[in-house]
Amino acid sequence: MKSKEARRWKVALGVSLVTTSLASYAYYCPDYQDSWVLPQFFNATSVLNAAVKAVDTALSAQLLYESERLTAAIAILTKQKAVAGNQIGDSSRTAAQQVATGLKIHAEIERLKKARLEFGGDFGQGYEPCLVEAKRQAITSRDADMDAARRDRVTSEVTAAPGRYVDPIKGRRDQIEANKDSCTADQVASGLCQTEGTMPGASLNIATLFEPAMEGEPLYKAKVAFIDNMVGPPNGMVPKAAGKTPATEAYSLAKARKDAVASPAIVSLKEIQLDYSGVSGAHTDMDIPLAMHFRNEVARYSGNSPEYDAWAKKMAGQKDRGVLVELLKIKALDLVIQAKQYRQYERMEAQLAALVALNTAALQESSDNAASLAAKQNAMEAIK
Protein backbone atom coordinates (compact mmCIF):
# COMPACT_ATOMS: atom_id res chain seq x y z
CA MET A 1 0.00 0.00 0.00
CA LYS A 2 2.79 2.35 0.95
CA SER A 3 4.68 1.47 -2.16
CA LYS A 4 1.74 2.42 -4.35
CA GLU A 5 1.50 5.82 -2.68
CA ALA A 6 5.21 6.39 -3.17
CA ARG A 7 4.96 5.64 -6.85
CA ARG A 8 2.09 8.11 -7.24
CA TRP A 9 4.15 10.86 -5.71
CA LYS A 10 7.09 10.10 -7.90
CA VAL A 11 5.00 10.29 -11.02
CA ALA A 12 3.42 13.54 -10.04
CA LEU A 13 6.81 14.97 -9.28
CA GLY A 14 8.10 13.92 -12.70
CA VAL A 15 5.19 15.46 -14.48
CA SER A 16 5.63 18.65 -12.59
CA LEU A 17 9.27 18.88 -13.51
CA VAL A 18 8.60 18.27 -17.19
CA THR A 19 5.96 20.92 -17.25
CA THR A 20 8.24 23.38 -15.60
CA SER A 21 11.04 22.62 -18.10
CA LEU A 22 8.82 23.06 -21.15
CA ALA A 23 7.52 26.30 -19.91
CA SER A 24 11.04 27.47 -19.35
CA TYR A 25 12.15 26.43 -22.85
CA ALA A 26 9.17 28.05 -24.45
CA TYR A 27 9.93 31.17 -22.76
CA TYR A 28 13.56 31.11 -23.94
CA CYS A 29 14.23 29.88 -27.71
CA PRO A 30 17.87 29.56 -28.64
CA ASP A 31 19.27 30.85 -32.02
CA TYR A 32 19.37 28.61 -35.16
CA GLN A 33 22.83 27.15 -35.72
CA ASP A 34 23.56 27.38 -39.48
CA SER A 35 27.17 26.52 -39.21
CA TRP A 36 26.63 22.95 -38.35
CA VAL A 37 23.06 22.40 -39.70
CA LEU A 38 23.55 23.49 -43.31
CA PRO A 39 26.50 21.19 -44.03
CA GLN A 40 24.51 18.31 -42.62
CA PHE A 41 21.54 19.38 -44.68
CA PHE A 42 23.60 19.63 -47.90
CA ASN A 43 25.30 16.38 -47.14
CA ALA A 44 21.99 14.69 -46.60
CA THR A 45 20.63 16.25 -49.78
CA SER A 46 23.66 15.03 -51.76
CA VAL A 47 23.33 11.56 -50.33
CA LEU A 48 19.64 11.59 -51.08
CA ASN A 49 20.25 12.81 -54.68
CA ALA A 50 22.97 10.19 -55.17
CA ALA A 51 20.65 7.55 -53.86
CA VAL A 52 17.85 8.75 -56.10
CA LYS A 53 20.23 8.91 -59.08
CA ALA A 54 21.54 5.44 -58.33
CA VAL A 55 18.01 4.14 -58.04
CA ASP A 56 17.14 5.94 -61.31
CA THR A 57 20.20 4.52 -63.09
CA ALA A 58 19.50 1.02 -61.83
CA LEU A 59 15.85 1.37 -62.71
CA SER A 60 16.70 2.67 -66.22
CA ALA A 61 19.15 -0.19 -66.76
CA GLN A 62 16.58 -2.65 -65.47
CA LEU A 63 13.90 -1.09 -67.70
CA LEU A 64 16.25 -1.22 -70.73
CA TYR A 65 17.14 -4.85 -70.03
CA GLU A 66 13.53 -5.78 -69.50
CA SER A 67 12.54 -3.77 -72.61
CA GLU A 68 15.08 -5.64 -74.74
CA ARG A 69 13.91 -8.93 -73.32
CA LEU A 70 10.34 -7.91 -73.96
CA THR A 71 11.19 -6.79 -77.50
CA ALA A 72 13.04 -10.07 -78.12
CA ALA A 73 10.14 -12.00 -76.65
CA ILE A 74 7.72 -10.08 -78.84
CA ALA A 75 9.94 -10.74 -81.90
CA ILE A 76 10.13 -14.43 -81.02
CA LEU A 77 6.40 -14.52 -80.45
CA THR A 78 5.81 -12.72 -83.73
CA LYS A 79 8.16 -15.11 -85.52
CA GLN A 80 6.51 -18.07 -83.88
CA LYS A 81 3.14 -16.72 -84.92
CA ALA A 82 4.48 -16.20 -88.45
CA VAL A 83 5.93 -19.71 -88.51
CA ALA A 84 2.72 -21.07 -87.09
CA GLY A 85 0.78 -19.05 -89.67
CA ASN A 86 3.01 -20.36 -92.48
CA GLN A 87 2.61 -23.87 -91.20
CA ILE A 88 -1.11 -23.42 -90.97
CA GLY A 89 -1.11 -21.87 -94.46
CA ASP A 90 1.06 -24.67 -95.84
CA SER A 91 -1.12 -27.24 -94.16
CA SER A 92 -4.24 -25.58 -95.55
CA ARG A 93 -2.69 -25.32 -99.03
CA THR A 94 -1.47 -28.93 -98.89
CA ALA A 95 -4.87 -30.07 -97.70
CA ALA A 96 -6.56 -28.05 -100.45
CA GLN A 97 -4.16 -29.47 -103.05
CA GLN A 98 -4.80 -32.99 -101.81
CA VAL A 99 -8.53 -32.39 -101.91
CA ALA A 100 -8.22 -30.91 -105.42
CA THR A 101 -6.05 -33.82 -106.50
CA GLY A 102 -8.51 -36.27 -105.04
CA LEU A 103 -11.41 -34.55 -106.78
CA LYS A 104 -9.45 -34.52 -110.04
CA ILE A 105 -8.63 -38.22 -109.74
CA HIS A 106 -12.24 -38.94 -108.88
CA ALA A 107 -13.41 -36.96 -111.91
CA GLU A 108 -10.90 -38.76 -114.13
CA ILE A 109 -12.04 -42.11 -112.81
CA GLU A 110 -15.64 -41.14 -113.48
CA ARG A 111 -14.76 -40.04 -117.01
CA LEU A 112 -12.83 -43.26 -117.58
CA LYS A 113 -15.74 -45.29 -116.27
CA LYS A 114 -18.13 -43.43 -118.53
CA ALA A 115 -15.79 -43.73 -121.52
CA ARG A 116 -15.32 -47.43 -120.79
CA LEU A 117 -19.06 -47.96 -120.60
CA GLU A 118 -19.95 -45.80 -123.58
CA PHE A 119 -16.99 -46.34 -125.90
CA GLY A 120 -15.19 -49.43 -124.60
CA GLY A 121 -15.15 -52.70 -126.46
CA ASP A 122 -17.00 -54.46 -123.65
CA PHE A 123 -20.15 -52.34 -123.43
CA GLY A 124 -20.19 -49.62 -126.10
CA GLN A 125 -18.85 -51.02 -129.38
CA GLY A 126 -21.09 -53.98 -130.04
CA TYR A 127 -19.88 -57.53 -130.48
CA GLU A 128 -16.08 -58.04 -130.64
CA PRO A 129 -15.28 -54.80 -132.53
CA CYS A 130 -11.70 -55.75 -133.40
CA LEU A 131 -12.68 -59.19 -134.71
CA VAL A 132 -15.60 -57.88 -136.73
CA GLU A 133 -13.48 -55.02 -138.10
CA ALA A 134 -10.81 -57.46 -139.28
CA LYS A 135 -13.41 -59.67 -140.98
CA ARG A 136 -15.08 -56.72 -142.66
CA GLN A 137 -11.72 -55.47 -143.91
CA ALA A 138 -11.00 -58.96 -145.25
CA ILE A 139 -14.35 -58.98 -147.08
CA THR A 140 -13.71 -55.53 -148.58
CA SER A 141 -10.19 -56.43 -149.72
CA ARG A 142 -11.24 -59.82 -151.09
CA ASP A 143 -14.20 -58.35 -152.98
CA ALA A 144 -11.99 -55.70 -154.60
CA ASP A 145 -9.34 -58.29 -155.46
CA MET A 146 -11.89 -60.68 -156.99
CA ASP A 147 -13.28 -57.90 -159.19
CA ALA A 148 -9.78 -57.32 -160.55
CA ALA A 149 -8.99 -61.04 -160.84
CA ARG A 150 -12.20 -61.93 -162.69
CA ARG A 151 -11.16 -60.28 -165.96
CA ASP A 152 -7.68 -61.83 -165.83
CA ARG A 153 -9.00 -65.33 -165.11
CA VAL A 154 -11.52 -65.10 -167.94
CA THR A 155 -8.55 -64.65 -170.26
CA SER A 156 -6.17 -67.14 -168.61
CA GLU A 157 -8.51 -69.99 -167.57
CA VAL A 158 -10.95 -70.14 -170.49
CA THR A 159 -9.56 -71.83 -173.59
CA ALA A 160 -12.06 -70.13 -175.93
CA ALA A 161 -11.86 -66.77 -174.14
CA PRO A 162 -13.18 -63.67 -175.93
CA GLY A 163 -10.65 -62.44 -178.49
CA ARG A 164 -8.51 -65.55 -178.15
CA TYR A 165 -7.56 -67.84 -181.08
CA VAL A 166 -6.19 -71.30 -180.36
CA ASP A 167 -5.43 -74.31 -182.53
CA PRO A 168 -8.67 -76.33 -182.30
CA ILE A 169 -6.86 -79.67 -182.06
CA LYS A 170 -4.57 -78.47 -179.25
CA GLY A 171 -7.45 -76.72 -177.51
CA ARG A 172 -9.58 -79.88 -177.50
CA ARG A 173 -6.68 -81.93 -176.17
CA ASP A 174 -6.15 -79.45 -173.35
CA GLN A 175 -9.84 -79.59 -172.47
CA ILE A 176 -9.82 -83.40 -172.43
CA GLU A 177 -6.75 -83.35 -170.16
CA ALA A 178 -8.47 -80.87 -167.83
CA ASN A 179 -11.48 -83.21 -167.54
CA LYS A 180 -9.35 -86.23 -166.59
CA ASP A 181 -10.22 -86.05 -162.86
CA SER A 182 -13.92 -85.75 -163.72
CA CYS A 183 -14.23 -88.67 -166.11
CA THR A 184 -17.33 -90.79 -165.60
CA ALA A 185 -17.74 -94.55 -166.10
CA ASP A 186 -19.64 -93.96 -169.36
CA GLN A 187 -16.83 -91.80 -170.71
CA VAL A 188 -14.36 -94.56 -169.87
CA ALA A 189 -16.61 -97.06 -171.65
CA SER A 190 -16.79 -94.81 -174.71
CA GLY A 191 -13.02 -94.49 -174.86
CA LEU A 192 -12.79 -90.77 -174.02
CA CYS A 193 -10.98 -91.55 -170.74
CA GLN A 194 -8.73 -94.33 -169.66
CA THR A 195 -9.83 -94.46 -166.01
CA GLU A 196 -12.65 -93.04 -163.93
CA GLY A 197 -11.74 -89.80 -162.19
CA THR A 198 -11.67 -89.02 -158.49
CA MET A 199 -14.68 -86.70 -158.92
CA PRO A 200 -16.83 -88.24 -161.65
CA GLY A 201 -18.89 -85.65 -163.55
CA ALA A 202 -17.64 -82.69 -161.49
CA SER A 203 -16.65 -80.72 -164.60
CA LEU A 204 -20.12 -81.28 -166.07
CA ASN A 205 -22.27 -80.25 -163.09
CA ILE A 206 -23.23 -76.64 -162.24
CA ALA A 207 -23.26 -77.57 -158.52
CA THR A 208 -19.47 -77.75 -158.68
CA LEU A 209 -19.26 -73.95 -158.95
CA PHE A 210 -21.05 -73.54 -155.61
CA GLU A 211 -18.76 -75.88 -153.67
CA PRO A 212 -16.08 -74.04 -151.62
CA ALA A 213 -12.57 -74.94 -152.76
CA MET A 214 -9.05 -73.56 -152.54
CA GLU A 215 -6.98 -72.78 -155.60
CA GLY A 216 -4.88 -75.75 -156.71
CA GLU A 217 -7.29 -78.37 -155.36
CA PRO A 218 -8.91 -80.86 -157.78
CA LEU A 219 -12.32 -79.32 -157.13
CA TYR A 220 -11.06 -75.89 -158.21
CA LYS A 221 -9.68 -77.42 -161.43
CA ALA A 222 -13.08 -79.03 -161.99
CA LYS A 223 -14.69 -75.57 -161.76
CA VAL A 224 -12.35 -74.23 -164.41
CA ALA A 225 -13.04 -77.24 -166.62
CA PHE A 226 -16.82 -76.85 -166.19
CA ILE A 227 -16.77 -73.25 -167.50
CA ASP A 228 -14.42 -74.29 -170.29
CA ASN A 229 -16.87 -77.02 -171.31
CA MET A 230 -19.77 -74.57 -171.34
CA VAL A 231 -17.93 -72.07 -173.55
CA GLY A 232 -16.95 -74.83 -175.98
CA PRO A 233 -13.95 -75.42 -178.22
CA PRO A 234 -11.80 -72.47 -179.32
CA ASN A 235 -11.63 -70.86 -182.72
CA GLY A 236 -8.56 -71.51 -184.81
CA MET A 237 -6.12 -68.83 -185.81
CA VAL A 238 -6.29 -67.25 -189.29
CA PRO A 239 -3.17 -68.03 -191.35
CA LYS A 240 -1.08 -65.00 -192.21
CA ALA A 241 -1.14 -66.07 -195.84
CA ALA A 242 -4.89 -65.46 -195.96
CA GLY A 243 -4.33 -61.75 -195.50
CA LYS A 244 -7.23 -59.35 -195.23
CA THR A 245 -9.57 -61.17 -197.53
CA PRO A 246 -13.35 -60.80 -197.32
CA ALA A 247 -13.59 -64.32 -195.93
CA THR A 248 -11.03 -63.56 -193.22
CA GLU A 249 -12.83 -60.37 -192.23
CA ALA A 250 -16.16 -62.18 -192.13
CA TYR A 251 -14.62 -64.88 -189.92
CA SER A 252 -13.16 -62.30 -187.53
CA LEU A 253 -16.46 -60.42 -187.29
CA ALA A 254 -18.33 -63.64 -186.61
CA LYS A 255 -15.80 -64.54 -183.90
CA ALA A 256 -16.13 -61.06 -182.36
CA ARG A 257 -19.93 -61.30 -182.36
CA LYS A 258 -19.80 -64.74 -180.77
CA ASP A 259 -17.37 -63.56 -178.07
CA ALA A 260 -19.39 -60.43 -177.30
CA VAL A 261 -22.62 -62.39 -176.95
CA ALA A 262 -21.01 -65.08 -174.76
CA SER A 263 -18.95 -62.75 -172.55
CA PRO A 264 -21.76 -61.84 -170.07
CA ALA A 265 -22.34 -65.52 -169.35
CA ILE A 266 -18.62 -66.22 -169.03
CA VAL A 267 -18.12 -63.32 -166.63
CA SER A 268 -21.08 -64.42 -164.51
CA LEU A 269 -19.76 -67.97 -164.32
CA LYS A 270 -16.32 -66.69 -163.30
CA GLU A 271 -17.94 -64.49 -160.66
CA ILE A 272 -19.59 -67.54 -159.09
CA GLN A 273 -16.35 -69.51 -159.35
CA LEU A 274 -14.30 -66.84 -157.58
CA ASP A 275 -16.96 -66.27 -154.92
CA TYR A 276 -16.67 -69.92 -153.88
CA SER A 277 -12.91 -70.28 -154.37
CA GLY A 278 -10.01 -69.32 -152.15
CA VAL A 279 -7.55 -67.72 -154.57
CA SER A 280 -4.70 -65.27 -154.21
CA GLY A 281 -5.43 -61.69 -155.18
CA ALA A 282 -3.33 -58.72 -156.13
CA HIS A 283 -3.51 -57.25 -152.62
CA THR A 284 -4.49 -60.25 -150.46
CA ASP A 285 -3.03 -63.67 -149.90
CA MET A 286 -4.93 -66.90 -150.31
CA ASP A 287 -7.95 -66.89 -148.02
CA ILE A 288 -11.24 -68.70 -147.57
CA PRO A 289 -13.78 -68.05 -150.35
CA LEU A 290 -15.63 -64.75 -150.27
CA ALA A 291 -19.00 -66.53 -150.08
CA MET A 292 -17.89 -68.24 -146.87
CA HIS A 293 -16.97 -64.85 -145.41
CA PHE A 294 -20.48 -63.61 -146.12
CA ARG A 295 -22.01 -66.85 -144.83
CA ASN A 296 -20.12 -66.56 -141.54
CA GLU A 297 -21.15 -62.93 -141.10
CA VAL A 298 -24.82 -63.71 -141.75
CA ALA A 299 -24.72 -66.77 -139.46
CA ARG A 300 -23.57 -64.57 -136.57
CA TYR A 301 -26.87 -62.66 -136.67
CA SER A 302 -29.31 -65.23 -138.05
CA GLY A 303 -28.76 -67.95 -135.42
CA ASN A 304 -28.05 -71.68 -135.55
CA SER A 305 -24.33 -71.18 -134.94
CA PRO A 306 -22.01 -71.12 -131.91
CA GLU A 307 -21.02 -67.54 -132.72
CA TYR A 308 -24.67 -66.48 -132.59
CA ASP A 309 -24.89 -67.70 -128.99
CA ALA A 310 -21.77 -65.71 -128.07
CA TRP A 311 -23.16 -62.69 -129.92
CA ALA A 312 -26.49 -62.87 -128.07
CA LYS A 313 -24.75 -63.08 -124.67
CA LYS A 314 -22.51 -60.14 -125.54
CA MET A 315 -25.39 -57.98 -126.67
CA ALA A 316 -27.27 -58.57 -123.40
CA GLY A 317 -24.73 -56.38 -121.56
CA GLN A 318 -24.32 -53.65 -124.15
CA LYS A 319 -25.15 -50.01 -123.51
CA ASP A 320 -27.53 -48.18 -125.82
CA ARG A 321 -24.61 -46.91 -127.86
CA GLY A 322 -23.24 -50.45 -128.28
CA VAL A 323 -26.61 -51.67 -129.55
CA LEU A 324 -26.79 -48.81 -132.06
CA VAL A 325 -23.25 -49.52 -133.23
CA GLU A 326 -24.13 -53.18 -133.72
CA LEU A 327 -27.23 -52.24 -135.69
CA LEU A 328 -25.06 -50.09 -137.95
CA LYS A 329 -22.72 -53.04 -138.50
CA ILE A 330 -25.65 -55.25 -139.48
CA LYS A 331 -26.98 -52.54 -141.79
CA ALA A 332 -23.53 -52.14 -143.39
CA LEU A 333 -23.38 -55.89 -144.06
CA ASP A 334 -26.85 -55.72 -145.56
CA LEU A 335 -25.78 -52.86 -147.84
CA VAL A 336 -22.74 -54.81 -149.03
CA ILE A 337 -24.90 -57.83 -149.83
CA GLN A 338 -27.37 -55.58 -151.65
CA ALA A 339 -24.51 -54.05 -153.67
CA LYS A 340 -23.37 -57.53 -154.64
CA GLN A 341 -26.92 -58.45 -155.63
CA TYR A 342 -27.10 -55.26 -157.67
CA ARG A 343 -24.02 -56.32 -159.63
CA GLN A 344 -25.63 -59.72 -160.18
CA TYR A 345 -28.73 -58.02 -161.57
CA GLU A 346 -26.53 -55.98 -163.90
CA ARG A 347 -24.94 -59.16 -165.23
CA MET A 348 -28.38 -60.71 -165.66
CA GLU A 349 -29.43 -57.64 -167.59
CA ALA A 350 -26.32 -57.97 -169.77
CA GLN A 351 -27.15 -61.63 -170.44
CA LEU A 352 -30.70 -60.75 -171.42
CA ALA A 353 -29.35 -58.02 -173.69
CA ALA A 354 -26.99 -60.58 -175.24
CA LEU A 355 -29.91 -62.93 -175.88
CA VAL A 356 -31.81 -60.08 -177.53
CA ALA A 357 -28.76 -59.28 -179.66
CA LEU A 358 -28.41 -62.95 -180.56
CA ASN A 359 -32.07 -63.17 -181.60
CA THR A 360 -31.69 -59.93 -183.52
CA ALA A 361 -28.67 -61.34 -185.34
CA ALA A 362 -30.60 -64.51 -186.12
CA LEU A 363 -33.48 -62.46 -187.49
CA GLN A 364 -31.04 -60.38 -189.54
CA GLU A 365 -29.46 -63.52 -190.95
CA SER A 366 -32.89 -64.93 -191.77
CA SER A 367 -33.82 -61.66 -193.45
CA ASP A 368 -30.60 -61.66 -195.46
CA ASN A 369 -31.24 -65.27 -196.53
CA ALA A 370 -34.79 -64.40 -197.56
CA ALA A 371 -33.58 -61.38 -199.51
CA SER A 372 -30.93 -63.50 -201.26
CA LEU A 373 -33.51 -66.15 -202.08
CA ALA A 374 -35.85 -63.52 -203.46
CA ALA A 375 -33.09 -62.06 -205.62
CA LYS A 376 -32.30 -65.50 -207.03
CA GLN A 377 -35.94 -66.13 -207.81
CA ASN A 378 -36.25 -62.77 -209.54
CA ALA A 379 -33.17 -63.55 -211.61
CA MET A 380 -34.59 -66.91 -212.66
CA GLU A 381 -37.89 -65.31 -213.61
CA ALA A 382 -36.04 -62.73 -215.68
CA ILE A 383 -34.15 -65.47 -217.53
CA LYS A 384 -37.36 -67.26 -218.35
Quick: pLDDT tens for 205-226: 999 999 999 998 999 999 999 9
Our measurement of the distance from residue 305's CA atom to the centroid of its chain's CA atoms, rounded to an integer in Å, reads 28
Distances (CA, A) of 102 to 49, 99, 105: 76, 5, 5
pLDDT, tens only, 10-56: 545 554 544 544 444 444 455 555 666 777 778 888 888 888 888 88
Residue 239 has pLDDT above 60, yes or no: yes
Query: Residue 381: is its pLDDT beyond 80?
Result: no
pLDDT digits (tens, 9 = 90+) for 182-212: 899 998 888 888 889 889 999 999 999 999 9
Burial 315-326 (b: 16+ CB within 10 A, else e): eeebbeebeebb
pLDDT value of residue 266: 92
Closest CA to 321 of 132, 122, 131, 135: 122
Question: What local confidence, expressed as pLDDT, does residue 80 receive?
Answer: 85
pLDDT in tens, 72-117: 888 888 888 888 888 888 888 888 888 999 899 988 888 887 777 7
pLDDT at residue 292, as a whole number? 92
Q: pTM score, two decimals?
A: 0.64
- Percent of the chain with pLDDT strictly greater than 70: 83
pLDDT digits (tens, 9 = 90+) for 317-355: 888 888 898 899 999 999 999 999 999 999 899 889 888
**Averaging pLDDT over each range in 238-252, 265-279, 348-362, which range is the top one?**
265-279
Tell me if 139 sits within 8 A of 293, measured CB to CB.
yes
